[in-house]
Structure 1
Amino acid sequence: MKKKRRLRKGLLAKLCSPLLVIFSLLLAFQIYKLNILPVKYLIPVVLVVVLLALILFLLSMFKTGRRGVRILVTILTVILTIVYGAGNYYIYKTDEMFAKIDDLTDKIANTETIRVMEGSPVSSLSDLNGKTIGLCTAQDAEGIPYMEKALEKDNVQYTKQDFASVIDLTAALYNGEIDAMIINDGFLGIIHDVEDFTFVTTSTKVIYSEVYYTPRPNVIQDSQDQVNVTKEPFTVLISGNDTYGSLGENSRSDVNMLVTVNPKSGEVLMTSIPRDYYVEVDCPEGVACAQGEMDKLTHTGLHGIETTEATIEKALGININYTVRVNFSSLVNLVDALGGIDVVVDKGLAVKTFYANETLEGVSEGKNHLEGERALAFARERHAYVDGDNQRVRNQQIVLRAIIDKITSPSILLNYGNFVDAIGGAFETDMPSSQMKDLIRYQLTVNPHWKFESCSLRGEGSTEYCAELGTAAYVAIPDEESVRIAREKIEAVLNGKSAESIQDPGASDPAGTIEQPEQDEETGLQDDTVYDPDDPYDSSAQYEDPYSPDLQESDSGYTDPYDPNDAGESQYYNPNWTLDDEQ
């Protein structure tokens, strides 16, 4: 009888210990395969993982004289089984993430979603049982099967309704003709351009999504300017496209930020360049663009990130080692996967509603928690600030820092699966995944204390001929002094010095930002207002005559920021914004 009782008391440990040994061997193999641990850590970690499991296995299988020891062995066996199981999951997801990043060199990441209206009670696939789901086979034949398979897996019975175009599909969802729609997020930019669906990304909500890959027509080659990222300084261009969905689509570069890293000194410099910077276009070999013509930087993205890279290198007289390209969907998905980010808004920089997305709540002074769409709107906002584009690039740097802080915080473990799924398809880069692993290994070995510094280029607003448009549009004429200072700051970091060693007198001067043209006293518009047909967000496009100097505020449908009786709106809006000014 006593023997049976003892057997029952040790039964849990006996059941878990074989599983623990299996988990330990699998974990040791995955740690070795992942190849991010330095050798001096790899061997001890693998030995400890396996030996702990074997010791507990032996203790659980043989008699232990004391009851306390037996209880301790059982507790440790259960805990380690859970820990090793979770460890296997995290490492598997991490390895999968690096594989996806490598895939993006020869494949395009596409995001397929099932969307419902924001106020819909539908929140999961199972809620679609008995509902009507719209789709557009003519424009989205590749992605639809992924969603249909997911619905079939959940045994969802639904009515299917096909539409001729994604615009018709969206209209049907808005009008209540269907309960949900299946769509590739790459079409959201097209839908966004239709006035009735300007805020499609926030008027609807995603209840299910999958990322799938298609062959890339032009394979991304590894950078030709590679360095040993653990020993040599390097510069990365982060370029943000103004599109949703697929990363394979070339589009205007809405964000252009240089990140210069010196692994030895621990210095990291973020240099932001206004999207409207008026520069000489430089085309890489084999790219058909307006070589030697003047245009704003954002248009170079239409010919690929390589053109943006070459143009910036020529304008600043620097060398860029690696490029990273993201888009709107990348940021939204990544921030949401992290459970949101926290940003601090300085005094006087509160925004009631975002110009880029009027359906979203703005930000208040102090700490703000932002989900994906609000983080995107915050990073794109400039019309709300007197400091205009300079504040926008500061906001972009704030968002980047907030993402880094969230990734490096312990809370990442709670959302790790979602995070690696999001980051695996969130960006494309010409930095080999082996070098990314080298950086992680360096971080674990040396654990440098990174010091972040920031710098923003400045300029003066003007209206000039843009080669890509074939007409004049708003641009920012570079302030050569700020270009020189930015170049010297980058060189300082590359040489192991602090960027702060290079003084920038204009950085603390609000007037040192991009200056806007004079304002017309009668109309409140800028004297040289020109409608920019390049800009799908140009609010002038809704008027019959975007060039008319007699355009009245009442025609616009927007609140007049100059009206003193307008509930204090002027504190949120830049009195210098122009109707044709791009977002």
Structure 2
Amino acid sequence: MKKKEKNTRKRSLIIDIVLLAIMLIVSVISFYIAYTFGLIPMKWITIFAVVVGCSFLILLLLNFKKLPTWGLVMKRFVLIVLTVCIGTCGYFLDKSRTTINKISKTTVNEDGSTTKKSKMFVVVKKDADIQDLDDLKDQTIGFQNGSDEDNATYMKTLLQKEISFQEREEMDYTALITDLENNAVAAIAMSETFYNMSAANIDKFSEETKIIETYERELTDNQKKHKDITKETFTVYLSGLDNVGSPDQQTRTDTNLILIVNPRANHIDMVSLPRDGFIPNTATNNVNDKFTHTGMYGIDTSVETLQQFFGIPIDYYARVSFNSLIQIVDTIDGIDVDVEIDFCEQDENRSFKKDDLICLKKGEQHLNGKQALAYSRHRKTLGYDNPGRERAQQRIIKAIINKLVSPSAITYVNELLEIAPNYVITDMPANQITKFVSSELENMKPWTISSISSDNGVYDTRYVASIAESEGKKDVYLFNKNEVHALLNAYDGASKQLEMKEYHFDLTNLYKDTPAVNDDPNIVWDSMADVPH
């Protein structure tokens, strides 16, 4: 009998040791991920490590004490629960790191330079009789000459060293994929980021294509220096494309916002820009154009045009397509928005058929992804127009932010991390993102959001640079200098916070000692309208 009890005790001890070993391994891996990722503040990691370490020691010491059956069950239950919790945290941290690295493959080095790592693929149709690069000799390969032109040029140089081929260029990957489907090209040179986006946005793309060659690239940029975004005010240009598909498309920008983020005051100024804003387009030799058209020349053109017109730096951009709004809102189980008017709007496929129309009533309500998209696009109601749409877009963004910081976020964070890399592109380095989030987790202060709308100007009819004069004049929005001043003051105030004793103003000249509005004589202001309406 004693021998049987001894054997039972021995088996029980072995089980406990195995469970403790699993907990130790899971803990070491999870804390290693947390430490190397940098998202969780170090003091949090230290506190958690002490708590887990003490728990481990207590559970270990209990192995040397004879416990009643209920005590043994409780000990193992606690051990298993702790292991699962620690492993789950490690899993989500690792997934978060993977997601952020997919969205932005750029990192900031200690000297302020940036290093960008990327993979690039040569993609062909799955049913094509092409197995390697030699099979592409003297055939046509497609390259993107828009937002991913730098990677395309790099791949072109590598391929030219290996085979002879014909070239075909398109402004975006969506057009190149159509060329591949129509056999206008035999292969496409694609970066990994846009390959993944195409797989998510284009039906059966990954099923009907195959990768025959992969290249890796590491590029260091010593020119652009990055701010300490945990302390310094920075700006983000948020661009929403006027199309369904991948965010790399060279198409009109339908939603345009500048976020002025002040990390010291935990405040964001959200500035809506009218898509029809009439300003010098840097891609057309500064001939005046609708701002929405700058998107047709790439995200960099939109950024350069904004910087030149407003005279403030645009530190980062984030670009999304219509798909992303639908997917994000649906993933977080919808948003609560106060809809301003009754209206009906086309669906995401631009269908005005009766069965496809999306109609909403005025008032506070819960919107799904398609409804949120319809609300963000609507502008045809008389008297509502573009300013109304800009207000709607701001309400939607605020609602999304509020949902993401609510306790319910834990229920959909996993799925949100899955879809984010497929619908968002940004030039914010991965370690800048983690550094900012880590700082916010450490401080845990609530954020406030203010809205600045551009609706004090007037509409006019003018020729625009990106449309031939033969097509006639187009409706454009002429900015009012005061609304531009409002943006400049918001940025200046966030960047140069004054002590109360230094605060001053002049009632006779409210803009004294504030940044000056652009004095470019080519700019057409609202006071210069020919036919204001």
Residue 405 in structure 1 maps to residue 402 in structure 2: yes
2:336 matched residue in structure 1: 343
Matched position secondary structure for 2:423:
coil
Amino acid at match of 1:16: L
| 2:23 aligned residue (10, 20, 24) | 20
| 2:79 aligned residue (77, 80, 89) | 77
* Distance in 2 separating the partners of 1:396 and 1:214: 40
**Matching of residues 305-344 of structure 1 within 5 Å:** 305-336=299-330, 338-344=331-337
**Which moved further from structure 2: 99-108 or 481-490?**
99-108
Matched position secondary structure for 2:245:
coil
1:269 matched residue in structure 2: 269
Number of matched pairs: 428
1:433 matched residue in structure 2: 430
Note the C-alpha offset of 1:250. Answer: 2.3
* Distance in 2 separating the partners of 1:264 and 1:319: 19
Q: 2:341·2:363 contact (CA, 8 Å) conserved in 1? A: no
TM value normalised by structure 2: 0.68
**Which moved further from structure 2: 480-489 or 291-300?**
480-489
Matched position secondary structure for 1:461:
strand
Q: 2:105·2:430 contact (CA, 8 Å) conserved in 1? A: no
Note the C-alpha offset of 1:251. Answer: 2.0
Note the C-alpha offset of 1:108. Answer: 9.2
Cα gap change, 1:166/1:317 in structure 2, threshold over 3 Å: closer, same or farther? closer
Note the C-alpha offset of 1:430. Answer: 2.2
Cα shift readout 1:432-451 (whole Å, capped 9, x = no counterpart) = 11111111111012122211
Cα shift readout 1:493-541 (whole Å, capped 9, x = no counterpart) = 333389xx999xxxxxxxxxx9xx99xxxxxxxx99xxxxxxxxxxxxx
**Which moved further from structure 2: 310-319 or 267-276?**
310-319
1:484 matched residue in structure 2: 485
**Which moved further from structure 2: 354-363 or 429-438?**
354-363
* Distance in 2 separating the partners of 1:456 and 1:246: 28
1:420 matched residue in structure 2: 417
Amino acid at match of 2:66: T
Q: 2:461·2:474 contact (CA, 8 Å) conserved in 1? A: yes
Residue 49 in structure 1 maps to residue 49 in structure 2: no
1:86 matched residue in structure 2: 88
Q: 1:276·1:298 contact (CA, 8 Å) conserved in 2? A: yes
Matched position secondary structure for 1:257:
strand
1:469 matched residue in structure 2: 467
* Distance in 1 separating the partners of 2:218 and 2:98: 23
TM value normalised by structure 1: 0.63
Amino acid at match of 1:339: I
Q: Which has the higher contact order (CA 8 A, sep 6+)?
A: 2
**Matching of residues 81-480 of structure 1 within 5 Å:** 81-103=83-105, 224=224, 226-282=226-282, 289-336=283-330, 338-346=331-339, 349-354=341-346, 358=352, 359-384=356-381, 386-458=383-455, 459-471=457-469, 472-480=473-481
Amino acid at match of 1:409: S
* Distance in 2 separating the partners of 1:312 and 1:218: 29
Amino acid at match of 2:23: L
Cα gap change, 1:428/1:265 in structure 2, threshold over 3 Å: closer, same or farther? same
Note the C-alpha offset of 1:301. Answer: 1.2
1:285 matched residue in structure 2: none
* Distance in 2 separating the partners of 1:39 and 1:393: 40
* Distance in 1 separating the partners of 2:208 and 2:274: 33
Note the C-alpha offset of 1:4. Answer: 6.9
Matched position secondary structure for 1:469:
coil
* Distance in 2 separating the partners of 1:324 and 1:368: 28
Q: 2:246·2:423 contact (CA, 8 Å) conserved in 1? A: no
Cα gap change, 1:184/1:43 in structure 2, threshold over 3 Å: closer, same or farther? closer
Amino acid at match of 1:294: N
Note the C-alpha offset of 1:379. Answer: 1.6
Gaps (5+ residues) in structure 2? Answer: 107-115, 130-139, 144-176, 182-194, 508-525
Matched position secondary structure for 1:254:
strand
1:120 matched residue in structure 2: none
Q: 1:334·1:426 contact (CA, 8 Å) conserved in 2? A: no
Cα gap change, 1:318/1:93 in structure 2, threshold over 3 Å: closer, same or farther? same
* Distance in 2 separating the partners of 1:109 and 1:342: 37
Matched position secondary structure for 2:236:
strand
* Distance in 1 separating the partners of 2:235 and 2:27: 40
Cα gap change, 1:386/1:16 in structure 2, threshold over 3 Å: closer, same or farther? farther
Matched position secondary structure for 1:449:
coil
Q: 1:97·1:424 contact (CA, 8 Å) conserved in 2? A: yes
Q: 1:280·1:292 contact (CA, 8 Å) conserved in 2? A: yes
Amino acid at match of 1:376: L
Note the C-alpha offset of 1:2. Answer: 5.6
* Distance in 2 separating the partners of 1:450 and 1:222: 33
Amino acid at match of 2:316: Y
